[in-house]
Amino acid sequence: MIIVHHLENSRSQRVLWMLEELGLPYEIKRYERDRKTMLAPPELRRVHPLGKSPVIVDTDDDHRVVAETGAIVEYLVDKADGRLGAPATRDDALRYRFWLHYAEGSMMPPLLLKLVLGRIPLLGKRAQAKIQPMIDVHLGYVERELSQRPWFAGDAMTAADIMMSFPLEAARSRAGLDTSRPATIAWLDKVHARPAYQAALAKGGPYAYA
């Protein structure tokens, strides 16, 4: 059994979606953000020293604790005997690896920076305007790639698509992703229509980006 320590409106929604896609049994331990700081509650430090979400505990593997979304995703691929993992062809497998790491390594940092700057009066708003062109480069790149194939790694959905869902949902919410990039919007709509995504949404509680 996988226990998911799930923080509202966070990256951990992807873990719930992946577990639904894989059909693995899981339980959810929900946490709410502090309404003033919007940070995770201190209780999460009892699960992992960083006090961040997502974190999973695998009760079938001596209560092994795994943190970081990418590491969790790879752990679950292994646990599910490779399902949603790298495609068979080398080119698609390399795409899979790239997008799996690009989501958090390249796309999320400017999105997060824009969010943080938006909370700083006056100076933050001006600084945000300088961040948006950086985000636009990423959005243009994603649009070109999704114009060439239905999923990030090729013809079938993989864990790379699950990893890319949160940054693109965040971009649509606060960073200019709109119908001017139709391939990306179509991909998001396709993701949101999946029964497993909808099931994860129902179980995970409030989520502002769907």
Range 90-194 has CATH code 1.20.1050.10: yes
Task: Please check whether residue 191 is in contact with residue 197, taking contact to mean a CB–CB distance below 8 angstroms.
Answer: yes
Residue type, 128: Q
| 32-77: pLDDT as tens digits | 887 777 778 888 899 999 988 999 999 999 999 999 999 999 999 9
| 182-207: pLDDT as tens digits | 999 999 999 999 999 999 999 998 88
Task: Please check whether residue 17 is in contact with residue 196, taking contact to mean a CB–CB distance below 8 angstroms.
Answer: yes
Query: Residue 40: its pLDDT value, please?
Result: 81
Domains 2-84+196-204 and 90-194 share a fold: no
pTM of the entire structure? 0.93
Q: Which CATH number fits domain 2-84+196-204: 3.40.30.10, 1.10.3720.10, 3.40.120.10, 3.40.50.800?
A: 3.40.30.10
Averaged confidence pLDDT in the chain: 93
Query: Residue 199: its pLDDT value, please?
Result: 97
Task: Please check whether residue 100 is in contact with residue 153, taking contact to mean a CB–CB distance below 8 angstroms.
Answer: no
Query: Residue 116: its pLDDT value, please?
Result: 78
Residue 54, preceding peptide bond in cis (omega within 30° of 0): yes
* Helix intervals (H) in the chain: 12-22, 69-79, 90-102, 108-117, 123-146, 159-174, 182-193, 195-204
How would residue 114 be classed by pLDDT, with cut points 50, 70 and 90?
confident
| 2-32: pLDDT as tens digits | 999 998 888 999 999 999 999 999 999 998 8
| 115-173: pLDDT as tens digits | 877 777 666 677 778 899 999 999 999 999 999 999 999 999 999 999 999 999 999 99
* Ranges of each domain in the chain: 2-84+196-204, 90-194
